Amino acid sequence: MIAHVFVDAENIPPSVTFKVVEHFGKEHTITRVDIVAKEDTLPYKYRNLDEKIYRVQNCFYGKNSADMWLCFEMVRAIIDEPYLELIIIVSSDKDFLPAIKFAADFEKKIFIVSNGVGHKTFTEQLKILGVSPEAVELKDFRLKFGLPEKLEKILPQLSFRTKKYLFDHENQIKFILVKAGKNFFDVPFVAGMDIPTFSRILRELNIFSFASSVRDFISENFLRISRNRIYFQSEAELSEPTPAEQIKEFFSEHAAEVTKIFVKQNTRLYEIPFVDGMSLDLFGKFLREKKIIGKGASPEQTAAKSLLKVVDEKVFLCSDEEQIAAYGDTINSVDEYFSFHAAEIKKILIKHGNKTFEVPFVNGITLELFGKLLREKNIIGKSASATNIAKKNFLDVRDGKVFLCDEDRLSELYAEATGDLAAYFDCRDAKKISVKHNGKTFEILFADGMPLKLFDKLLREKKIIGRNSSAVKVAAQSLLDVRDERVYLLTGDELKIAQEDLETDVDGFFNEHALKIKSILIRHGGRKFDLPFVEGMPIKIFGKLLRERKIIDRKISVEEIVASNKLELRDEKIFVGEENK
């Protein structure tokens, strides 16, 4: 396009003028550059220019003389230059509206290059004058030219500070699609930009309000934060499950093991689901997802404050004795607990030894505080088990809390304590199962989770085992699981593993390879175990050996033990790794 440039030199520095001429001169033919200023304000850089292009004019004196002079020159150019197509006005004033209206009426294209401060007002004024938006384009001389079309469209909505940042990083800008609510938006993004800048862009573009969390927004749109700067996620990070997805999957896989516990952070208690032995990393992710701890807080410290222990990067519940040893002398919250639950306090009788004691009780009191109460009342000593006292007094202990029993549960506990099998089966959902012993199969009545003592009594009453026989052995042969002094039915993978163990002869394997046996050290759960080992032994033999030695149960993967001890698994056989040789 044939262009004519008009410069108000009283408020435009020479550097901007030359930049404008250079930039627009690449795409248009500039026939003339009119530079207007009073003689005493004209910068020296405007002197000795090429007179074929540049015309420096002295507008003499007067407050608005430069603006009036430029308006006159624009009108003259529109009339005298028939081939003129584009008028470029370089000024931060807004006194050219009549001349712009005149140029638009003559179907001339107008570029206004200014400091951008009054662009919004200027656009409104042009609209009032009836000037078509297509006729006028606004440029900000403080920033760079040649902007992407997407960026040019949103510039009027952005503050100068935001514009400055974007144009300082012009070559790094990418437009990304983000989702806010049900809508999608194109936003400019620079990898490594700080969180406040990204937040400012989103709010200036009205994508979300100050009440919204920019960190949640970043996570939901598959970006990542590192040292308070924002980056694209790599393919590996995108394909990796989010912390929320990892947590959901973990609790789904371990649904049968989930218990409810309380964790303490600062002065507040939070009830959360928990799996004994869950990884410290996942425990930390869960606490952060639930907003219990912040990004920089230590999940290990929260575990310690919450009567949990961390061993080999895993989190475990503490036993009564461990709780007493670590916290018994420092916890002084029994009175506070009863004060808070004053309306729920009942008086119950606790029997221990040959004495009976009346104590205050709140249904659902934590086992920790119940033990503390018994010790403060001198009912039990420091090393005694609060769990055993609760059970002997027909209180129900579950999920780390102590409850009064309902009638059915009380009947069940009484039957367990007295060994009354008939009464026990009356209050339980019992069914008939088959058990094996000495090559014979017997049908018995069974309740899932029945105490080992009752199971043993049942087998003896039915003449299935004798005085010196083991109920545990019968349970193993019958694919039943014995844990925590109770007998359970096996299902799914655990049943499959038990069947394989039954068919696996560990003693026969070691007898066959007696000359190759050596000793290796296995670490698990913070403990060390010395085991016999044969190079290349089948994983089934190794797994059954671990289970026989009570190192793992059927819920723990043998492969996990192999990996954590740097052993090698090849073709379902186990070898000592190079690091262990």
Reading the block at residue 225, the tokens are 């934060």
The one-letter amino acid code at 327 reads Y
Share of the chain above pLDDT 70, in %: 90
Condensed to tens digits (0 to 9), the pLDDT of residues 444-483 reads: 888 888 888 888 888 888 888 887 788 888 888 888 888 7
Query: Degrees (nearest 5) of the Cα angle 261, 267, 272?
Result: 20
Residue 330 is predicted with a pLDDT of 41
The one-letter amino acid code at 469 reads S
Check: CB of residue 280 under 8 Å from CB of residue 300: yes
Reading the block at residue 251, the tokens are 């609790």
Residues 401 and 390: their CA atoms lie apart, in Å, by 10
Condensed to tens digits (0 to 9), the pLDDT of residues 534-558 reads: 899 998 888 888 888 888 887 788 8
Condensed to tens digits (0 to 9), the pLDDT of residues 24-44 reads: 888 899 999 998 887 666 777
Condensed to tens digits (0 to 9), the pLDDT of residues 222-232 reads: 788 877 888 88
Residue 118 is predicted with a pLDDT of 63
Condensed to tens digits (0 to 9), the pLDDT of residues 317-329 reads: 887 666 655 544 3
- Residue identified by tokens 């096996």 is 490
- Residue 334, C-beta contacts closer than 8 angstroms, at least 6 positions apart: 369, 372, 373, 376
Q: Is residue 60 predicted with pLDDT exceeding 80?
A: no
First to last CA, the chain: 80
Split at pLDDT 50, 70, 90, the class of 5 is very high
Averaged over 307-315, what is the pLDDT? 87
* Lowest mean pLDDT segment, chosen from 103-107, 114-118, 410-414, 462-466: 114-118
**Angstrom distances, CA of residue 505 to CA of 440, 459, 541, 545, 558:** 20, 26, 7, 10, 17
Q: Is residue 142 predicted with pLDDT exceeding 60?
A: no
Reading the block at residue 167, the tokens are 């144009």
Residue 328 is predicted with a pLDDT of 42
* Lowest mean pLDDT segment, chosen from 298-307, 406-415, 483-492: 406-415
Condensed to tens digits (0 to 9), the pLDDT of residues 187-196 reads: 888 888 998 8
The one-letter amino acid code at 197 reads T
Residues 8 and 34: their CA atoms lie apart, in Å, by 9
Check: CB of residue 224 under 8 Å from CB of residue 230: yes
Averaged over 129-133, what is the pLDDT? 83
Averaged over 98-119, what is the pLDDT? 83
Return mean pLDDT, the chain.
82
Phi, psi for 239 (deg, rounded to 5): -80, -20
Q: Is residue 75 predicted with pLDDT exceeding 80?
A: yes
The DSSP code for 126 is: H
Split at pLDDT 50, 70, 90, the class of 3 is very high
The DSSP code for 134 is: G
Condensed to tens digits (0 to 9), the pLDDT of residues 366-395 reads: 888 899 899 989 998 888 888 888 888 888
Reading the block at residue 220, the tokens are 């939901």
Identify which of 406, 405, 385, 408 has the alpha carbon closest to the alpha carbon of residue 394.
405
**Angstrom distances, CA of residue 516 to CA of 231, 233, 521, 532:** 55, 51, 16, 10
Query: Degrees (nearest 5) of the Cα angle 411, 349, 363?
Result: 70
pLDDT top residue among 419 and 459 = 459
Residues 313 and 279: their CA atoms lie apart, in Å, by 6
Residue 341 is predicted with a pLDDT of 73
Residues 536 and 573: their CA atoms lie apart, in Å, by 5
| Adjacent-strand bridge partners of 522 | 529
- Residue 220, C-beta contacts closer than 8 angstroms, at least 6 positions apart: 179
| DSSP codes, 182-232 | TEEEEEEE-TTEEHHHHHHHHHHTTSS-TTS-HHHHHHHTTEEEETTEEEE
Residues 58 and 55: their CA atoms lie apart, in Å, by 10
Split at pLDDT 50, 70, 90, the class of 331 is very low
Check: CB of residue 520 under 8 Å from CB of residue 568: no
Residue 329 is predicted with a pLDDT of 39
Check: CB of residue 454 under 8 Å from CB of residue 419: yes
Identify which of 483, 486, 539 has the alpha carbon closest to the alpha carbon of residue 509.
539
In angstroms, how far is CA 528 from the centroid of its own chain? 34
In angstroms, how far is CA 403 from the centroid of its own chain? 35
| DSSP codes, 89-122 | EE-S--TTHHHHHHHHHTT-EEEEEE-STTHHHH
| DSSP codes, 457-506 | HHHHHTTSS-TT--HHHHHHHTTEEEETTEEEE--HHHHHHHHHHHH--H
The DSSP code for 141 is: T
